[in-house]
Structure 1
Amino acid sequence: MMKSVSRKQWLSGLCVILFSMSLAIFLTVNSVWLFDINMHTENLKTLTGLSFSQMHQEYLRIIDYLQNPFISQLNFKCFRSSAAGLLHFRDVRHLIMLNNVVLLILIPVMIICWRNLWRSKLTWLIMSPIKIVVTVFIMVVAMMMVNFNQVFIWFHELLFRNEDWIFDPDKDPVINMLPESLFLQLFLLFFVLFFLLAFLWYFLAKWQLKNAQNNGR
């Protein structure tokens, strides 16, 4: 019986966690507003020589390319690009599209999983997995705050098998529009969104558990 409960616990927790991560990634990728803020706070107008409107449109082209399967090529209007730079954008595009597919699959799975757990009053099964993942992510955030550059390098070495992600501003001046501080904020935004979603599931599970305990008295 304990093995059955443990298996159900981890499968249910995994579904909730993967859905939360995938949704957080999707929302982060589409947070164009964060880039718009950085255009002003990071003085990107001086770094790129472009107007705010031009930078905004170029960023939208990146986001559109990363997510629109009907766009086959990334074409900047104001930046030249190297073959390696375009290859990296293509690699990122594959990862983003994979996440979008996973998210679409997990939406109905998540609904069914959560509905079954809620009706069976077993949402408490996801509490331990959530606490474990949140703890690990908090450690990652702490490492980022100490040395984000090193974490950023590890992240790219983990996901990419080449070094095309190391942009040369002379060959790919678009990197001047994408400072390290922007990536730090995007990473932090992802974690904040994930923590909010995890807290929501954890709060609902704890609320149901508390009610079940009170009604059982």
Structure 2
Amino acid sequence: MNGGFNVKFTVKQIGISVLIILACLSLAIFLTVNSIWLFSINIPLLHLTTATGLEPHQLRRDYLQIIQYLQFPWIKSLHFYYFFSSQKGIQHFSDVRHLILFNNLVGLVLVPISGYVLTWLNKKSLTWLLITPIKVVITFSLMIIVMMLINFDQIFIYFHELLFRNNDWLFDPRTDPVINMLPDTFFLECFILFFVIFFGALAIIYWLGHRSLKKIAK
């Protein structure tokens, strides 16, 4: 009887952990994609006006065009004010858009459910069940971060090869000059921001887990 109970308990623990971790992942992606401020502060830092020949307000305007296209399903096509694009370039933005919209849908479903489940676990002092799964995810994530710091370019390539079934993401500045305002350093910062948000969310849950352990110990 105890063995069967433990199996059921473990399966339930894994299911709840996966649900909450996926919700944190989706939320971190959403917040990172919509961090327009990060692009704005990089305009002077990465000398994007020199790289593109455009003024800061022009760069922000076209970057906002990209974000709106990626986020709003009712915007059917991407139009730049100051750049031209090849068909392959437009197709890649469309491929990215599908992934972003899918993530938004996942977040709309999982984040509220996870919030409810997390609240329930906290009230029952069961949040400690998430401590071990969080440790595993953080360990795996730190391995990815180390590999990124060692060779970000290669990880960036693997990332695109994993998500996309074509080579449209290989932009040529001559046919898709928009890539000049999106250098690799900016994408590295986006990855870093993602992990900061993701780890921040997991840290809060981890803290709640330790607090629930203290309640049980009393």
Secondary structure of 1:175's partner?
helix
Does structure 1 conserve the Cα–Cα contact (< 8 Å) formed by 2:125 and 2:215?
Answer: no
Q: Which runs of 5+ in 1 are unaligned?
A: none
Does structure 2 conserve the Cα–Cα contact (< 8 Å) formed by 1:8 and 1:125?
Answer: no
Are 1:195 and 2:199 matched, yes or no? yes
Corresponding residue number in structure 1 for 2:84: 80
Corresponding residue number in structure 1 for 2:25: 21
Corresponding residue number in structure 2 for 1:51: 55
CA distance in 2, matches of 1:64, 1:155: 23
Q: Which structure 1 residue ranges, 4+ long, deviate > 6 Å from structure 2?
A: none
Q: How does 1:33-72 map to 2 (within 5 A)?
A: 33-72=37-76
Q: How does 1:90-101 map to 2 (within 5 A)?
A: 90-101=94-105
Q: What is the CA distance between 1:51 and its match in structure 2? A: 0.2
What is the RMSD computed on CA atoms of the aligned residues? 0.8
CA distance in 1, matches of 2:212, 2:131: 12
The letter for the 1-side match of 2:39 is F
The letter for the 1-side match of 2:79 is N
The alignment-based identity, stated in percent, is 50
Corresponding residue number in structure 1 for 2:168: 164
- Paired positions, count: 214
Corresponding residue number in structure 2 for 1:31: 35
Does structure 2 conserve the Cα–Cα contact (< 8 Å) formed by 1:127 and 1:202?
Answer: yes
Does structure 2 conserve the Cα–Cα contact (< 8 Å) formed by 1:13 and 1:127?
Answer: no
1:89 to 89, 93, 115: 93
- Post-superposition Cα deviations, 1:54-103, rounded to whole Å, max 9, x if no partner, equal 00000000000000111000000100100000000000000000010101
Q: What is the CA distance between 1:208 and its match in structure 2? A: 1.2
The letter for the 2-side match of 1:156 is H
TM norm structure 2: 0.96
CA distance in 2, matches of 1:173, 1:150: 22
- Post-superposition Cα deviations, 1:141-180, rounded to whole Å, max 9, x if no partner, equal 0000000000000000000000000000000000000000
Corresponding residue number in structure 1 for 2:15: 11
Corresponding residue number in structure 2 for 1:113: 117
Q: Which runs of 5+ in 2 are unaligned?
A: none
